[in-house]
Amino acid sequence: MNMMKELIGKIDAKLIRRFGYYLVGLALGVVALTYINQQKGTTFNYGPNARVLSQLRLRDTLKISTEAKYMLQQHHLDSLDIQYVLHKGEWDRSKSNVHKKPCPDYWLDATIGKKTNNKIVTTRFAFIFERCEYVTTLKNIQVQ
C-alpha cells in the first residue's frame, strides 16, 4: 500500500513538472508569435465588422463623390474623419446592400465630435461606401 502512494506521488510530481514545462514553452511561443506579427503588421480580423472595415481600407484608391464632398464641407469633416470611420466605424448590415453586383454598398455609422465655440459637439453620421474591385468610393454622408 505504501508503495502505491509513493508511485502516485512520483507520477503527480512528474506530471506537474511536465505541465510546467508545457506552460513555459507555450508562453514563450505566444510572445514570439506576437512579436513577429507586430513586426509584419499582420492583423486578425475575425469579426464581420472588422473584415468589412479592412476590405474598405485596403482598396488601391478612395474616391469621394460630389454629394459626399458637399456633406464633408457642410459639416466641416476632413480626411482624418474619413480615416477614423474606416478604422472605428460600425458596419450597419441591415442598411448595406452587400449582394449588389458588381460593387456592393456598405453603411458605416460613426459619432464624430467637432469643437465649435469652445464646445465639443458630437454628431452621429452614416457614411455610405461602395466597394469595387480596386476602388472604394464614398458615395454619401447622412446625419442621423
pTM, rounded to two decimals: 0.69
Q: How does pLDDT run across 91-116, given as a tens digit for each residue?
A: 988 888 888 889 899 999 999 988 87
SS3 state of residue 81? helix
Cell 513538472, located at residue: 17
Closest among 142, 79, 77, 86 to 113, alpha carbons compared: 77
Q: Would you kindly state where each structural domain of the chain is located, as residue ranges?
A: 1-42, 48-143
Q: How does pLDDT run across 8-19, given as a tens digit for each residue?
A: 666 777 777 888
